[in-house]
Structure 1
Amino acid sequence: MFKLRKGYLGYISANLFLILVCFIIITPLIWSVSTSFKSRSEVFAHNFTLIPKQVIWQNYVEIIKAAPFGQYLINTVLVVTGILILQLLLIIPAAYAFAKLEFPGKSFLFFIFIAQMLLPLQSIIVPNYLFLKNLGLINTRIALILPFAASGYGIFLIRQTFKQIPEALIDSARIDGCGDLRVIWHIMIPLAKPTITAFSLISIVIHWNDYFWPLIVTNTADVRTLAIGLGMFVQQESGADWPLLMAGTMFIVLPILLFFLCTQNVFINNLIKSGLKE
């Protein structure tokens, strides 16, 4: 009876701790949403209230009129999607080659790809910029996508998963007449789906919030992303106008948050299935 009671108290303590951590994490988001619906006078009032006394929808109307956040959102979705598609098209075959094929210089080439992970973007920004400038791609969406088409981290992550797939499955597929591309499509990708899903979410979040590179290669509003658009709006328009600033921030936060909420079941189910053996 004591063991049961002790275990029950531990269960309650763990859940209370998780609730506290979740509250700490979500508090800035709740504050931002609340501020985006407040009036300017209420934001600076001495008595802080989380729930607005009067919901001001006009803040969102004003932010849309003040800056083309709709265009920024479209640009961001196109850039993030383009980067992810190119990354998956390149890193999955590369990971398969490094995991299952034998060719001269394999270890050296893999080391070069991994070395990419050690280089910060700032260290290669000049050659990247000059390369795109010579191609006439500055201030285009392609310039935002192209430098991130290959991912050393993605190749390493998926390669490690591919190495765990038994060779017998691949040999069986080859006996049935499958080439490498069919092996990748019918065997490797389905079995590595949890890893690919995890990498996809990481890639989307990183490039959705990317600020430095888009700041360098974009000059006009028609190609700017949400992060740059919000930064330019803060510098040029809003100043200390916190309701408008938080309304603009929601254009960045809510789409990626809704995306995660809509895909979390797929993500969690893939992780659960990855731990099950047939």
Structure 2
Amino acid sequence: MLPTKWKVERGLMLLLSVLWLVPLIWMAVTAFRPKQVALDSLFSLQFTLDNFGRVWEAAPFAQYYVNTVLLVVAVFAVQMLTVTMAAYAFARLEFWGKTAVFLLFLVQIMVPADVLIFPNYSVLKELSLLDTKLGIMLPYYASAFGIFLLRQTFKTLPSELDDAAVVEGASKWRILWTIYVPLSRPAYLAFALVSVSYQWNNFLWPLIVTNSVENRPLTVGLAIFAQSFEVGAQWTEVSAATLLVIAPLMILFLLFQRQFINSFIHSGIK
């Protein structure tokens, strides 16, 4: 039997989760409802897929999907390289100022990304990278959070693995990619989910630096689509478009949520 305190806490968590799910459920149901009955007070069993067809034809969501997937994959690929090398350096190598430099990386975690929008915009303007995919991705090629997460994971691996690999004649580069990376797979999965979800949902920065359909991600395209109606809000179309945007990310999290939670537990992050 669970103690009374635990029962109360579980009941409170269940209540909060239900409250959090209400808007999501309403949006999902509205996306499949015919326009004429979508906002009726009485519920009926009338459902349709026409809303998704109208949304797909009304805006270039196919192009938005291509742009978003390209941005997400490219940013994560570069982050994999940068955070892996930096985390290994902080975890296993000794160099002057190591602690001070690592503290600077930790400070970056506490700095909101929105604070750096105007400096980053000025740099991109000087480099003529405004309204380009590279301009959207460039500020995110390094991740202080990813470095911290992988450093914590690398430090949990026994140093005897390095000694054995050195005896076999392996270089540090080979040790990193053949020992540390495979053994840290749960941490990489957690970082992948964080990175992908952040880039998929990123809105303000792409909104500022993009002006063309060829470079807009889904979040910006959804906002422009929702504002395109001249008279009132078309809730069925807006809900269908929103579901198109968030569905891939929700499916991804549901498939890997256990590995996501376990990776943070193994890394010692609370």
Per the normalisation by structure 2, the TM-score is 0.88
Which residue of structure 1 lines up, in the alignment, with residue 252 of structure 2? 259
Greater shift in the superposed pair: 240-249 or 66-75: 66-75
Q: Which amino acid aligns with 1:38?
A: R
Deviation at 1:56, TM superposition (A): 2.4
CA drift at 1:198 = 0.9
* Residue in structure 2 matching 1:192, options 176, 184, 194: 184
Question: What is the rounded CA distance, in whole Å, between the counterparts of 2:214 and 2:263 in structure 1?
Answer: 37
Structure 1 Cα separation of the partners of residues 82 and 94 of structure 2:
18
1:88 aligned residue = 80
Contact 1:173–1:183 (CA under 8 A) maintained in structure 2: yes
- Give the structure 2 partner of residue 221 of structure 1: 213
Residues 9, 102 of structure 1: alpha-carbon distance in 2 compared, 3 angstrom cutoff: closer
Q: Distance in 2 between matches of 1:153 and 1:266?
A: 18
Worse-superposed segment, 185-194 or 243-252: 185-194
What amino acid is the match of 2:31? S
Which structure 2 residue ranges, 5 or more long, are not aligned? none
For residue 135 of structure 1, report the CA deviation from its aligned partner.
2.0
The residue identity in structure 2 corresponding to 1:115 is V
Residue 150 (1) aligns with residue 142 (2): yes
In the alignment, residue 175 of structure 1 is paired with which amino acid?
A: V
User: Aligned to 1:139, what secondary structure does the other structure show?
Assistant: coil
2:25 paired with 1:33? no
User: Among the aligned pairs, what percent are the same residue?
Assistant: 38
Distance in 2, Cα, partners of 1:124 & 1:96: 27
Choose 148-157 or 233-242, whichever is displaced more: 233-242
Measured against aligned partners, the alpha-carbon deviations of 1:181-236 in whole angstroms (never above 9, x if no partner) come to 11111221122221221111111111111111011111011111111111111112
1:244 maps onto 2:237 in alignment? yes
Q: Does 1:111 align with 2:126?
A: no
Equivalent residue letter for 1:250: L
1:28-70 deviation digits (Å, cap 9, x = unpaired):
32221110111233123232x2xx5322221111111111111
Q: 1:211 to 1:165 in 2, by over 3 A?
A: same
The CA deviation string for residues 118-139 of structure 1, in whole angstroms up to 9 with x for no partner, is 2222222122112222222211
Question: Bigger shift: 129-138 or 77-86?
Answer: 129-138
Question: Partner residue of 1:54?
Answer: 46
Contact 1:96 1:162 in 2 (8 A): yes
Distance 2:45 2:157 in 1: 58
**Structure 2 partner of 1:98:** 90
- Residues in 1 aligned to 2:229 and 2:211: alpha-carbon distance in whole angstroms: 17
Runs of 4+ more than 3 Å apart? 6-27, 261-272
Q: Which moved more, 1:62-71 or 1:262-271?
A: 262-271
Equivalent pair of 1:226/1:251 in contact (CA under 8 Å):
no
Bigger Cα displacement from structure 2, 17-26 vs 233-242: 17-26
Deviation at 1:258, TM superposition (A): 2.0
The one-character-per-residue Cα deviations of 1:148-173 (angstroms, maximum 9, x if unpaired) are 00011111111111112221111111
Which one-letter code corresponds to 1:246 in the other structure?
A: S
Change in 2 beyond 3 A, CA 1:185/1:64: same
* 1:179 shift after superposition: 0.9
Q: Distance in 1 between matches of 2:256 and 2:190?
A: 11
Q: How big is the shift at 1:21?
A: 5.4
Task: Give the alignment's Cα RMSD to 1 decimal.
Answer: 2.6
- Contact 2:75–2:141 (8 Å) recurs in 1: yes
Aligned residues: 266
Seen in structure 2, the aligned counterparts of structure 1 residues 8 and 101 have a Cα distance that, compared at 3 Å, is closer
